[in-house]
Amino acid sequence: MCKIGFDNEKYLRMQSEHIRDRIAQFGGKLYLEFGGKLFDDFHASRVLPGFQPDSKLRMLLQLKDRVEIVIAINAADIEKNKLRGDLGITYDLDVIRLIDCFRTIGLYVGSVVMTQFQGQAVAEAFQKRLESLGVRVYRHYPIDGYPSDIAKIVSDEGYGKNEYIETSRELVVVTAPGPGSGKMATCLSQLYHDYKRNIQAGYAKFETFPIWNLPLKHPVNLAYEAATVDLNDVNMIDPFHLEAYGETTVNYNRDVEIFPVVTAMFEKITGKCPYKSPTDMGVNMAGNCIIDDEVVRQASCQEILRRYYTALCDQRKGLADEEMIFKLELLMKKAGITVHDRAVIAPALQKAALTGSPAAALQLHDGTIITGKTSDLLGASSALLLNTLKTLAGIKDEIHLISPVIIEPIQHLKVDHLGNRNPRLHTDEALIALSICAATDPTAELAMEQLYKLRGCEVHSSVILSAVDEKVFRRLGVNLTCEPAYQTMNDNDSKDFASV
C-alpha cells in the first residue's frame, strides 16, 4: 500500500481538543466557519497520505453532543443552478444531500440559511421544499457597502435585517456546498444578534489549507494554490501575525485582505477583536500531524502535476484559459518539478507511439509500471486494468481473465442494438464481464479481489478518456491524468465514443 505521511488518529485527537479549547475561550458558544469538504476531502487525502477523506466528519462526531450544523447557500447560486463540479449536482440538491448524510450518522442539522436573498422565486420554492422535509430555513439579505461600510453593516440596517438563526448547542458549524455561500457573513451576523441579546459567543475559522505552520513554498501549500487556481487564491505570509508575534505563518490573500474589516466588525459588535491576525482565527491542526515530510512533499508534487494536466484537458475542451495554464506552470517551477517527474507519462506515450493507438500506464505503490494498449476487444484503459489485476494476483500474462466468447456478445449488443460506434469494452463493461466470470472461474475471482489495491495508484492516458472511464477510475480511487488530445477518427472510433 502507499506510504503514510500523516497521522490521522493524532489529528482527530488534536483537532477536537483544540476546538473544545476555542469554545471555552468564548464562554461556551462558538460559530465555526467550516471551509472545504466535510465528507469527501480527497484533495487532503492525496496531498497528506494517511489523511482519511472523512476525517473532519469523524472529528465532529467526537463532539457530537455539542455540535449543531447550519448549512449556508447563496440564493443567487440556487437561481443560477450552480453545479458542484466534483459531484455534478446543483448546490441546492447538494444541500439536501448534506442534510441526509449528516442525519444518517447522527449529527444534528439545525437549519439552512439562504444568503443574498432577494426574493428569487426558485429560492422561495427551495425554502418550501426544505420546510416540507422538516428543515428550518432563514433568510439573510444583501447589505449595501459590504464589506467596507462597517457602520452600515454592523447596524439594524445591515446584519440587523437578517433573520436570527435559532441555535441550541454550543458549537455551531457553518458549512456550505461550495465557496461564495456566505459562511463568514452568517457567523458575524449571528454574533451581532447574540450580543444584542446579551449572549456571549465567538467566531473561528476552520480551513485545512493553506497549512499555516508549513513554509510558504512547501509543496502542500503550493498544491492548494494549484487546486484553487480558478479562484485566484494566493498563499502569502500573514503580515498581521508577523507584526504581532514576530512569527512567520502562512495564510491566503482573501483572509489577509478581509482581516482589517473583520477586526473592525468585531470591535463594533463586541467592543474588541479577540484576534491579532487571520492565523489567530484558525483552528487547523493538520500541520502538527505530518509524520513524514518527504512522503507528503512527493504526494503534493504529484497533485500539482495532476492539476496541470487537468487544466490542459479543460483548455482542450474549452473550459480553461491560458492564464490558468501559466499559473500552474509557475507553481511547478516553485515546486521544482516538471512533467518528467510523473513516472506514468513516458511509458503511456511510448506504448502509444509503438502501437499507433491510444495507450495508458499505471504505477503501483511499489513503483512497478504496467501498460495497456488498444485492441479489437478492449480499450487501452480496460486492458490496463486487467493487466494490473493480473500482476497484483500473480496471474500469467497469457491467461485470459475474460474469454472472447463473453466479450463478443457484449460488443454485438453495443454496436448492433445500442448504436455505439466503438465496439471495444469500456472499463465498467470490462469489470462487469470480469465479475460474471468470477462466479465460475477462480482465476477471475482472484483478480477481482485485487481491486482495492488500486486505490492511490497513478495512471496516465495518451488521450482524453470518456466520462465513463474517468468515473470508473475515480471510484476505484485511482489518480488519473490524460494528454490533452482526443482519440483520432479511425476504425469507426470517434472522440465521443473513445473507450481508452
How high is the pLDDT of residue 406?
A: 87
pTM for this one?
0.89
Buried/exposed 213-228: b ≥16 CB within 10 Å, e otherwise: bbeeebbbbbbbbbbb
CB 90 within 8 Å of CB 84: yes
Confidence of residue 148 (pLDDT cuts 50, 70, 90): confident
Task: Flag whether pLDDT at 171 surpasses 50.
Answer: yes
How high is the pLDDT of residue 489?
A: 47
How high is the pLDDT of residue 232?
A: 80
Give the amino acid at 425. L
Q: 260: which 3 cell numbers?
A: 482589517
Confidence of residue 323 (pLDDT cuts 50, 70, 90): very high
How high is the pLDDT of residue 497?
A: 36
Q: What share of the chain is helix, strand, coil (3-state, %, to 5)?
A: 50, 15, 35
3-state secondary structure of 83: strand
Mean pLDDT value across residues 5-19 = 95
Confidence of residue 194 (pLDDT cuts 50, 70, 90): very high
How high is the pLDDT of residue 499?
A: 36
149-153, 170-174, 237-241, 480-484, range with the lowest pLDDT:
149-153
Mean pLDDT value across residues 47-56 = 94
Half-sphere exposure for 398 (CA within 13 Å, toward CB): 0
Mean pLDDT value across residues 245-265 = 92
Mean pLDDT value across residues 21-28 = 91
Task: Flag whether pLDDT at 379 surpasses 60.
Answer: yes
Q: 304: which 3 cell numbers?
A: 500539482
Q: How many CB atoms lie within 10 A of CB 203?
A: 25
Confidence of residue 1 (pLDDT cuts 50, 70, 90): low
Task: Flag whether pLDDT at 37 surpasses 90.
Answer: no
Tell me: the pLDDT tens digits for 339-372? Answer: 999 999 999 999 999 999 999 999 999 999 999 9
In the chain the domains, ranked by start, together with CATH numbers, are 8-216+233-289 (3.10.630.10), 343-497 (3.40.140.40)
Task: Flag whether pLDDT at 85 surpasses 70.
Answer: no
Tell me: the pLDDT tens digits for 383-423? Answer: 999 999 999 999 999 999 998 888 888 888 888 888 888 88
How high is the pLDDT of residue 38?
A: 78
How high is the pLDDT of residue 427?
A: 95
Buried/exposed 416-444: b ≥16 CB within 10 Å, e otherwise: eeeebebbbbbbebbbebbeebbeebebb
3-state secondary structure of 133: coil
Span between the terminal Cα atoms of the chain, in Å: 26
Q: For residue 459, what are the CA distances in angstroms to 84, 117, 471? A: 24, 44, 13
Q: What mean pLDDT, rounded, does the chain reach?
A: 92
Half-sphere exposure for 152 (CA within 13 Å, toward CB): 8
Q: 342: which 3 cell numbers?
A: 510523473
Confidence of residue 261 (pLDDT cuts 50, 70, 90): confident
List of residues 6+ apart from 197 with CB closer than 8 A: none
H or E segment to which residue 458 belongs = strand 458-461
93-107, 114-128, 355-369, 405-419, range with the lowest pLDDT:
405-419
- Residue with C-alpha cell 472510433? 493
How high is the pLDDT of residue 493?
A: 42
Q: Is residue 494 left, alpha or beta, with left meaning phi > 0 and alpha meaning psi from -120 to 50?
A: beta
How high is the pLDDT of residue 78?
A: 95
Spatial separation of the C-alpha atoms in residues 410 and 387, rounded to whole Å: 20
The candidate with the shortest Cα–Cα distance to 47, out of 282, 247, 287, 216, is 287
Q: 48: which 3 cell numbers?
A: 497528506
Spatial separation of the C-alpha atoms in residues 48 and 7, rounded to whole Å: 9
Tell me: the pLDDT tens digits for 213-254? Answer: 999 999 999 999 999 888 788 999 999 999 999 999 999 898
